[in-house]
Amino acid sequence: MSIQIRNVSKNFGTFQALTDINLDIADGKLVALLGPSGSGKTTLLRVIAGLEAADKGSILFDGKDLTDAHVSNREVGFVFQHYALFKHMTVFENIAFGLKVRKRRDRPSPSAIKEKVNELLKLVKLDGFAGRYPAQLSGGQRQRVALARALAVQPRILLLDEPFGALDAKVRKELRRWLRKLHDEVHITSIFVTHDQEEALDVADQIVVMNQGRIEQLGTPDEVYDHPQSPFVYDFLGNVNLFRGRLNHGRFVLGSAQIEAPEHLHAVDTEAVGYVRPHHLAIEREKKSGDVIPAKVIYTHAVGPVVYIEMKILESEEFVEAEISKNEFKELGLLIGEEVYVRPKEVRVFVPEDFVI
């Protein structure tokens, strides 16, 4: 089922939670609503579900206007962060609940319910857990039960609100890969809310980056990470170094260094900020070109196969961090206090008006 969101706005008193949201979600896509706390992502999810009413705008499923439709008439399944399982019910009873409470004319037979629940238990890899209670399960297992319960009623849209937020990092990583595989099998239009950038980049077909009730950028994981359209998106999606300088006829000037910035060819003596990912900073011992910046090594630390190098830019006293492989670090033989040259391999330069929301 496709989803069309048209000019949706939502206020809570004087707080503007959503402002003129326009979004199209294609049938069968797995979409992440990504943003910091207060960005409006959960509010938008609840408006789509019918749990909140929009003050303005419309919600359409497959072109049908359901703006005023009750949540029970939207055919959505909802998975919450804290599972919301019934503690006094077994795993089987939790999954079967949505089927058993249907009106008599729509309720499957006991044998059909049993068959459906067993099918879902197999799908979520919980065969043999039907008789257990939620307290007897791990957090990851409980979340899979919650997902099976949402799928039991055969929703046309699956909505997940921070589904893995209550789990530890390792379990979260395992479950999000499992969710990706599950989605590819059931192929149901799904929207999940997260503030975890890695989670969104790893799982989603499409990412909607939100900030202060608006959509900052929409695109595939590669598009939003590699081609951020605003300083907010660049900063929110991963670590970044900021270099403050000036633009002059297509060149970004940082002290004695000059870096090509052809997209700003007509800027003259304009204040600007260059954004550079840590893995896009090269470290050199000698000055071989005019696009290098003198720096001093302050601190190094290794995390698995990666070494992070913290440096101070000598001309500005600002601190930056580079990310290199352990092999490259050994080849360089860097020492604390040593003066080196930093060369940005990829720079995205923003001028002051880019920072206006």
CA 213 to chain centre: 16
Tell whether 60 and 23 lie within a shared domain: yes
d(Cα 257, Cα 313) in Å, to the nearest integer? Answer: 12
Tell whether 226 and 254 lie within a shared domain: no
Residue 227 DSSP code? S
Tell whether 328 and 350 lie within a shared domain: yes
Helix (H, G, I), strand (E, B) or coil at 242: strand
Tell whether 230 and 247 lie within a shared domain: no
Tell whether 12 and 78 lie within a shared domain: yes
d(Cα 144, Cα 137) in Å, to the nearest integer? Answer: 10
**Cβ–Cβ < 8 Å for 74, 45:** no
d(Cα 219, Cα 108) in Å, to the nearest integer? Answer: 40
Tell whether 248 and 230 lie within a shared domain: no
Which residues touch 319 (CB under 8 Å, ≥6 apart)? 298, 310, 311, 312, 313
Q: What is the CATH number of the domain that holds 326?
A: 2.40.50.140
Tell whether 274 and 230 lie within a shared domain: no
Q: What is the CATH number of the domain that holds 35?
A: 3.40.50.300
Structural domain containing residue 345 = 241-355
Q: Which of 217, 236, 255 is the last residue of a domain?
A: 236
Tell whether 228 and 334 lie within a shared domain: no
**What are the structure tokens assigned to 354, written together?**
């880019």
Q: Which of 195, 215, 236 is the last residue of a domain?
A: 236
- Closest CA relative to residue 33, chosen from 16, 12, 47: 47
Tell whether 91 and 209 lie within a shared domain: yes
Tell whether 251 and 136 lie within a shared domain: no
Which helix H or strand E contains 348, and what residues bound it?
Answer: strand 348-350
- Residue 23's beta-bridge partner residues? 5
d(Cα 12, Cα 24) in Å, to the nearest integer? Answer: 25
Beta pairing class for 257-260 and 251-254:
antiparallel
**Cβ–Cβ < 8 Å for 173, 196:** no
Tell whether 79 and 99 lie within a shared domain: yes
pTM: 0.86
Q: What pLDDT tens digit does each residue of the chain (357 aa) get?
A: 999 999 999 999 999 999 999 999 999 999 999 999 999 999 999 999 999 999 999 999 999 999 999 998 899 998 887 778 899 999 999 999 999 988 888 899 999 999 999 999 988 889 999 999 999 999 889 888 998 999 998 899 999 998 877 677 777 788 888 888 888 888 899 999 999 899 999 999 999 999 999 999 999 999 999 999 999 999 999 899 999 999 999 999 988 889 999 889 888 999 999 999 999 999 999 988 888 999 999 999 999 999 999 999 998 889 999 999 999 999 999 999 999 999 999 999 998 776 654
d(Cα 307, Cα 313) in Å, to the nearest integer? Answer: 19
Q: How many domains does the chain have?
A: 2
Q: Which of 171, 202, 236 is the last residue of a domain?
A: 236
Tell whether 203 and 93 lie within a shared domain: yes
